[in-house]
Every structure is written in structure tokens, then in C-alpha cells.
Amino acid sequence: MKRIGMLTSGGDCQALNAAMRGVVKTLVHNEEEVEIYGFLDGYRGLIYGDYRMLTGKDFSGILTKGGTILGTSRTPFKTIKDPDENGLNKVEAMKHNYYKLNLDCLVILGGNGTHKTANLLREEGLNVVTLPKTIDNDLYGTDMTFGFQSAVDIATNCIDCIHTTAASHSRVFIVEVMGHKVGWLTLNAGMASGADIILIPEIPYDIKEIVAAVEKRKKNSHFTIIAVAEGAISKEDAKLSKKEYAKKLKDSPYPSVSYELADKISKLTGQEVRVTVPGHTQRGGSPCPYDRVFASRLGSEAANLILKGEYGFMVGYKDREIVKVPLEEVAGKLKCVSPDARIVKEAKMLGICFGDGK
Ligand code: F6P
């Protein structure tokens, strides 16, 4: 008999349900008797003992369903050791609920912040197995996270739609893509949709280079598509300290980097510029087939680890293999796009401008 606690934490994404289904189906199929405790709204449910007993039936029919049947919330790691508003020690409360329910293990699905807390719980002696979710694909220790390919599809479709209207009106269009501090999503959606300029946080841009690229396109095509990561940053801003940059953003009259760019490009080129922000649509709806398969495989492997009693790992994907990665290697690190990566070089060879003049 295995008693499993399960939770989804942080921003949601496609295929969270597919991954949980993969875990439970594999456990049930392998004839272990299982009790599943689903904690609601992420770590909040574990802290306050808010859970639902689940059976195999709850995981039936959810392979294609977006969101998470358990609900989620953000419980920032930096305040996890601080008492809550009623003085409750959150870490001790999570441990208390784990032991009270006599759990064999926790299955935790999440991104960067989630993994820091998962690793803390491991250090505190709890059995933990994690699964890598995020549309940002910024989790260290895995080449791919589930949710990412679905988000690439949505962002690509958005830029595809923008292409036709940009061409009709001879306009410059900026599409702002999610991705938090990294550029994986923008790079992939931008290349998939034939963007002319791709701006990502890892490669700070020079506005002069962008203007030159727009002017060059004006001679032949009259329209330009710019895929901008929400975390894109100019060369000057990249020189500021974290604190100075945060202040600059706070005081900025623009809602995001795209609007600042739009203003500058229209003033410097005289061309009409429009901004489109697909925002949270990139995290919504059904997982794409790739993510359904990928999340099911990861979930199945997580169940395998549980059956073998191997804990303290994230199930990830490295060099085309499903692998187990020690949590201490994952927690607290970010997987960024290297400016020297082959894919970046190839994109540049295709003529895509990254705003760095290289
Ligand atoms: O981490 C996923 C993500 O969608 C990021 O791409 C984005 O910056 C952030 O979450 C948005 O967070 P929230 O849903 O809290 O607005």
C-alpha cells in the first residue's frame, strides 16, 4: 500500500493533468494499492491541510484537459520560512500534515520556485518526487518541461495571425511572448512563425540595430514582425543593477518592454507600430499532442520511482532520455538560452536579427 500526496504549485500550464494521470494510472496498473491525497491550490493545501481523497476515477478523462484539477497558487520560496499572518510556521505545518496522513511520498508538479520548496522539504526529511512543468522551459536539469511545446504552438499561431494583417497594412508588429526571465518560448515561437527580429533577455538589444533591421525590411517587404520576450532588455538597461532596473520599470510610463520599443521604433522609423500581447492564453487550453505524450511519460517514470522507493528526484529529460535528477541539482538554478547556442547561430544565419549587431 502506498499513500501519495500530490500537489501542483506556481503558474499553471498545459499537461499538468496529463502528468498526474500518468502517475496515477501507472501506480494503479501496477497493482499497488494506492491512496491519493490531492492537496488543493499548491503548497497552500499542504500547509493548511486542505486536501481531497482521490481515486483512479478522478484521473480519468483528463489527459486532454488544460489547467489543473487540484488548483494552484504561488507560495513564494523567499517567504516560506516566515510565519503566516497567524504566526503559523509553514514548513513545520507541511511536515505535520505529511506525517499526520502517514504519507509515503509527495508528488510535486511545478517550476523553479516550486522546486526550491520541494528541495527544502526533502532536506527536512520528507520523501519527494517532482515533475517539471512550465511554459518557460527554464528549469535546470531537464532539456524540456511540459507546457512549453503547447505554449510555443499558441504563441506561434498568434504571430502567424499577426503576419497577414501586418503585411496588409505595411506595419511593424511587436508580439510580446511570455517566458519570465528567459527566451526559450520567444526564440522557438519566433523562429516557427518566421519573425524578422527576436529579442530575448539573454541577448540585450541595441535600439539602433532594431531600427536598422526595420529600415532594411522597409525597402522590400514594408512590414516587420518582432517577437519580444516579456523579459527582453536593452544594452543600457542590462548595465543597471537589479535594484536600479526594478526602479526604472516601476517608474516607466510603459506597461511593458514592448510598448517602450514600439514608441521608440515608430519615432525613429516613422512607421506605424502595433503591439499584441497574447498573455495568459499561452498557458491555457488543451495540451498539444507532444505535451500529452511527454507528460504521460514523465508521470509514469515518477510512479516507477515511487514503486521502487527512490525519492528526492525530479523526473526530467536529457539527451532524448527520461532521467531522474537529484533535487539538490535542480533547485535554485535557471536554464537560460546561451547567446552562443547553435539554435541562435542558425537563426542568425537565417537572417533573423537579435538586436545585438552580431
Ligand atoms: O512562469 C510562467 C509564467 O506564465 C511566466 O511566463 C510569466 O512571466 C508568469 O508566469 C506570469 O505569472 P502570473 O500568472 O502570476 O501573472
Contact in structure between 235 and 206 (CB atoms under 8 Å): yes
| Residue whose CA is at the smallest distance from ligand 1 atom 15 | 11
Tell me how far apart the alpha carbons of residues 105 and 32 are, in angstroms, rounded to a whole number. Answer: 14
Q: Is the pLDDT assigned to residue 155 strictly greater than 90?
A: yes
Judge if the beta carbon of residue 133 lies within 6 A of ligand 1.
no
Tell me how far apart the alpha carbons of residues 222 and 189 are, in angstroms, rounded to a whole number. Answer: 22
Contact in structure between 230 and 256 (CB atoms under 8 Å): yes
- Atom number in ligand 1 closest to CA 10: 1
Separation of first and last alpha carbons in the chain? 59
| Mean pLDDT of the 181-194 span | 98
> Burial, 251: exposed, middle or buried (Cβ in 10 Å; 0-12, 13-18, 19+)?
exposed
Q: Please write the tens of the pLDDT for every residue from 44-78.
A: 999 999 999 999 999 999 999 999 999 999 999 99
> Judging by DSSP bridges, how do beta strands 128-132 and 313-318 pair with one another?
parallel
Ligand 1 pocket test, pick from 8, 135, 200, 277 with the greatest ligand atom count within 8 Å of Cβ, gives 135
137 confidence band (pLDDT: 50, 70, 90): very high
Give the pLDDT score at 220.
85
> Burial, 39: exposed, middle or buried (Cβ in 10 Å; 0-12, 13-18, 19+)?
buried
Give the pLDDT score at 31.
75
Fold of 2-147+287-330: Rossmann fold (3.40.50)
Tell me the C-alpha to C-alpha distance, in Å, between residue 322 and each of 143, 239, 288, 303.
10, 39, 19, 13
Give the pLDDT score at 221.
84
Q: In percent, how much of the chain has pLDDT > 70?
A: 100
**β-pair partners for 110:** 132
Contact in structure between 194 and 163 (CB atoms under 8 Å): yes
Contact in structure between 147 and 133 (CB atoms under 8 Å): yes
Q: Please write the tens of the pLDDT for every residue from 248-258.
A: 999 999 999 99
Instruction: Tell me which H or E stretch contains 345.
Output: helix 342-349
Domain at 149-283, CATH homologous superfamily: Phosphofructokinase domain (3.40.50.460)
Q: How far is the CA of 3 from the centre of ligand 1 (A)?
A: 32
136 is catalytic: yes
Contact in structure between 298 and 132 (CB atoms under 8 Å): yes
| Residue whose CA is at the smallest distance from ligand 1 atom 7 | 180
| Residue whose CA is at the smallest distance from ligand 1 atom 12 | 11
| Mean pLDDT of the 266-272 span | 96
| Mean pLDDT of the 322-333 span | 97
With cell 520528507, the residue in question is: 126
What are the structural domain ranges in the chain? 2-147+287-330, 149-283
Using the 8-state DSSP alphabet, how is residue 24 labeled?
Answer: H
Mean pLDDT value across the chain: 97
Tell me how far apart the alpha carbons of residues 83 and 79 are, in angstroms, rounded to a whole number. Answer: 8
Q: Please write the tens of the pLDDT for every residue from 7-45.
A: 999 999 999 999 999 999 999 999 779 999 999 999 999
Topology match between the domains 2-147+287-330 and 149-283: yes
| Mean pLDDT of the 287-305 span | 98
Give the pLDDT score at 295.
98
| Mean pLDDT of the 202-210 span | 98
89 confidence band (pLDDT: 50, 70, 90): very high
**Selection from 40, 57, 348 nearest residue 203 by Cα:** 348
Instruction: Tell me which H or E stretch contains 175.
Output: strand 172-177
Judge if the beta carbon of residue 179 lies within 6 A of ligand 1.
yes
| Residue whose CA is at the smallest distance from ligand 1 atom 6 | 179
